[in-house]
Structure 1
């Protein structure tokens, strides 16, 4: 009986001790959390956050030509066949005459739709069908764009939607823009720190914004149509302008 009493007493003592140690650990964890929160709050109070952008302007190295073939017929089949015949001649100019790689030619629109006339007497009356085949061509000989458009127009392309310029070195230029953004962020933060009679410390946090590529659209339908008879005149227009690539960052610095 005495031995059992001792075992119960020891078990009770163990439970009490465990509860004490658990409470002690909980208290320590709470104290640590409060301390961490206080340190973080102090860190925020002793920091400056700035947003900055960096941009570079570069010469385009590729042009995207958008054009197509529109053909009409009394039936959908007739319109589609007429479109196919015209576009076959356009493809010949692209692939055989100008040796353009097929991977640089992308169909952007293909379809046949009815066209109607409307009169007060008869209402909506079907007049025929319109077949459309549009493509987007990546072309890197910027000086020869005018001649290429002349060639596809002569082959049967009767609609030019425009010319857009871009770069195939987007990643490289984006990194350069990011470097400028970080430099600008440091300059801003330094001015703010000096104005507050503080010293700029190390970077605490960086958030990268999205990069933007502003392409150049130099030619619209009317401009291309007006220049179609003069390859030299058109070429001079496609050479102008630059592409602006920008990047943004938000940077937090420690203040000393």
Structure 2
């Protein structure tokens, strides 16, 4: 009789436990999701590298400064504003080379480098701006990236898409567990970079000169992603 009584008591407690409503502190479901939205780019950004090597530091910097002035003048002519052609890096360093015959380093002079970040706000002008920069003295065109003036609008659309996906996943999980989705307990987002289609490596001047008379760039679709972390309470 004691064994039967204990078994009955144990089963009664289990039934009582499962009949109690789950509180937010007792049970919840956490979901992470990534949403995306796409748009056709209407802008392009790239970096212009100016560099020169000379026997003295002053001569190297002087040559680079002259290139800088010519490139900036060319950019103004093409409608690029001064604030859209800003300096992002500048440096002067000694140039050494290893000489196998003497088995020692040989001083070759000083190298000056100046990098500009250029934003072209009308995509159709990108080719002309690149060509003008090269003709004015640019040594390399680097990191061409297509972007959009509507990035923030598209980012918000991606964020909404991520939340919708997270809720759908949470509802599927709750239904499979035979519980109901309750109130939203936590909602967070994390930075997610833009994913432009059509990003190029450095384009040395010799490549540009060997190409067609007019440089053309062809953008793909700009995909912007957003990631969210959500947590909902569960109830029976």
The 5 Å alignment of 1:161-240 reads 161-216=142-197, 218-222=199-203, 226-227=207-208, 229-230=211-212, 234-235=216-217, 237=218, 239-240=219-220
| 1:143 alignment counterpart | 124
1:246 CA drift (Å):
2.1
Give the gaps of 5 or more residues in structure 1.
Answer: 1-38
CA distance in 2, matches of 1:105, 1:48: 49
CA distance in 2, matches of 1:190, 1:231: 58
1:151 CA drift (Å):
0.9
CA distance in 2, matches of 1:118, 1:189: 63
1:217 CA drift (Å):
5.1
| 1:246 alignment counterpart | 226
The answer to whether structure 1 residue 119 and structure 2 residue 94 are counterparts is no
Max Rg structure: 1
Give the gaps of 5 or more residues in structure 2.
Answer: 1-19
| 2:75 alignment counterpart | 94
Distance change >3 Å, CA 63–CA 155, structure 1 → 2: same
In the alignment, is the contact (CA less than 8 A) between 1:52 and 1:181 conserved in 2? yes
- Give TM-score scaled by structure 1 length: 0.74
1:59 CA drift (Å):
2.0
CA distance in 2, matches of 1:127, 1:224: 23
Structure with higher RCO (Cα < 8 A, 6+ apart): 2
Distance change >3 Å, CA 204–CA 82, structure 1 → 2: closer
SS in 1 for 2:61: helix
Distance change >3 Å, CA 224–CA 60, structure 1 → 2: farther
- Give TM-score scaled by structure 2 length: 0.79
| 2:88 alignment counterpart | 108
Deviates more, 1:161-170 or 1:225-234: 225-234
CA distance in 1, matches of 2:37, 2:222: 10
- Pairwise CA RMSD: 2.6
The answer to whether structure 1 residue 47 and structure 2 residue 28 are counterparts is yes
